[in-house]
Amino acid sequence: MNRRAFLSLIGSAAWPLAAGTARAQQPGGKPPTLGYLGGGGPASQRAWLDAFVRRLRELGWVEGRSIMIDVRWGEGRPERYAAIAGEFVKAKVDIILAGGTEAAVAAKQATSTIPIVFPTAGDPVGSRLVASLPRPGGNVTGLSNLGTDLAAKRLEILREAFPELSRLAVMANVDYSGGTFEASEIQEAARRLKLEIVPLSIRRVEDIEPALESLKSRAQALYTTGDPLVNAQRLRINTFALAARLPTMFSQRQYLEVGGLMSYGPNFLDLNRRAADYVDKILRGAKPAELPVEQPTKFDLVINLITARAIGIAVPPTLLARADEVIE
């Protein structure tokens, strides 16, 4: 049940897209090449790719005719980000789209000349992707997802939903800068709300199951920080949480599609769509250094009532009334 208009790309066009009106090409008639470095994998982020490509098409860039797109997936593994970024540089792509903070950092380390656009980054300045939001400088620009600024709000929503909440498990990838920043804000907000944090630190896929098993009865709810590695394992995490009857809070709606309870954060489909506008401007001659980093304009609170019923939780009507979407 939609409370407000929600961008939906279900049933998006197949990849690659059909040919259409071609735009300006490079000398010799060769279309520019974009290297697409997805932070996660196709199972978790294909909708983001579709949103990006659909907007490119609206702007006149058609894959296979006016632009070539080389799609690679990092699968949440930093070593893959570095390898793929290096391959793009060696192939001399004209622009790189790097999905996520760590992917963008890897791309920046690989080249200081090829333009780089990030559709989502938790803290572009803190991670040294850009010098400042108004004037990025260098060859990198894009959109911030305000990941570290929203953690406190998520904790407040959790406390509103569960007034008796006192112990909260927080799963964070300690090798992911955005997750580290978010975990720090969680600690600060937890002190204010008098919440005890049970940290679950991970670095690899193999760390997730032991971290979850270590919980036992030590927490009353589970919060995961935004991160491609965790996103790719969201089904495993939610399967555990459902079996343990743990309420969950996430940063993206995607987690609720596989049994998560609540999510609050920017609309990632919209951010990826807007990233296409940056690519369009750069391909037409704009310099990344002069394109300000933009912030989200759409934020969604989504609640999964199917999950709430499965774990025996009654979500307050006041919170349901504020939700942008209720899954039931």
The C-alpha atoms of residue 322 and residue 52 are separated, in whole angstroms, by: 29
Q: pLDDT tens, position by position, for the chain (328 residues)?
A: 444 433 333 233 333 333 333 334 555 578 999 999 999 888 888 999 999 999 999 999 999 999 999 999 998 888 999 999 999 999 999 999 999 889 999 999 999 999 999 999 888 998 899 999 999 999 999 999 876 668 899 999 999 999 999 999 999 988 877 777 788 889 999 999 999 999 999 998 899 999 999 988 899 999 998 888 888 889 999 999 999 999 999 998 989 999 999 999 999 999 999 999 999 999 999 999 999 999 998 899 999 999 999 999 999 999 999 999 999 9
**pLDDT score, position 6:** 34
**Contact yes or no for 11/54 (Cβ under 8 A):** no
CATH level 3 topology of 147-266+300-327:
Rossmann fold (3.40.50)
In the chain, which residues fall in CATH 3.40.50.2300?
Answer: 27-145+268-297, 147-266+300-327
**Contact yes or no for 37/194 (Cβ under 8 A):** no
Rg over alpha carbons for the chain, rounded to the nearest Å, is: 20
**pLDDT score, position 132:** 95
For 64, half-sphere exposure in the C-beta direction (CA atoms, 13 angstrom radius) is 6
pTM beyond 0.85: the answer is no
Q: Which residues are CB-contacts of 114 (< 8 A; sequence separation ≥ 6)? A: 88, 89, 92, 93, 94, 95, 96, 139
Structural domain 27-145+268-297, CATH architecture: 3-Layer(aba) Sandwich (3.40)
**pLDDT score, position 231:** 85
**pLDDT score, position 26:** 52
Q: Which residues are CB-contacts of 282 (< 8 A; sequence separation ≥ 6)? A: 95, 115, 117, 288, 291
Distances (CA, A) of 325 to 300, 310, 314, 328: 8, 18, 16, 10
For the chain, count helices (H), then strands (E). Answer: 11, 12
> How does DSSP classify residue 274?
H
- 3 state DSSP class of 225: coil
Burial of residue 271, with CB atoms counted within 10 A of its CB: 0-12 exposed, 13-18 middle, 19 or more buried: buried
Measured at the CA of 322, the angle between CA 320 and CA 328, to 5 degrees, comes to 35
Give the pair of three-digit tokens for residue 137. Answer: 């400088």
**pLDDT score, position 28:** 56
